[in-house]
Structure 1
Amino acid sequence: MTIQKITNYMIRNGIVPEMRSEFFMCALDDTFHQAKIVGTILCIMVPGIQTTPYEKDREHGRMYQS
């Protein structure tokens, strides 16, 4: 498992909350069905973070590296 600091993120429905503190994401197995509570948001963790939002990823509330 790897932990990676991010400064921007996207959650379900494309809402991008204002960053008030640092959040960390934990890369788990290659699946959309595993999630971790990190900071105050629910993150779905997958390896190889995309920088462009795809519909499929947005449906699952995938986080994006800024």
Structure 2
Amino acid sequence: MATAKELRELSADDLQRRATELRETLFQDQLKRRTGSLDNPADRTLHRRDLARVLMVLGEKKKAAKA
């Protein structure tokens, strides 16, 4: 789990790559949850929050580049 401060140091490409990885992880978590093989449901919540954090920082970077 990375903080917003750490994420702001990454480039937009790195953030986009990390968002894609987190989306894939969430998809895998969803499949595991439906099949009953998800070990720790709290991990799914952490992945969702990480994705939101990454998307927030990515939006900030795009907005700053536009201005």
Higher relative contact order structure (alpha carbons within 8 Å, sequence separation ≥ 6): 2
Provide TM-score, normalisation by structure 2: 0.25
Which protein has the larger Cα radius of gyration, Structure 1 or Structure 2?
Answer: 2
Higher helix share: 2
Higher strand share: 1
Provide TM-score, normalisation by structure 1: 0.25
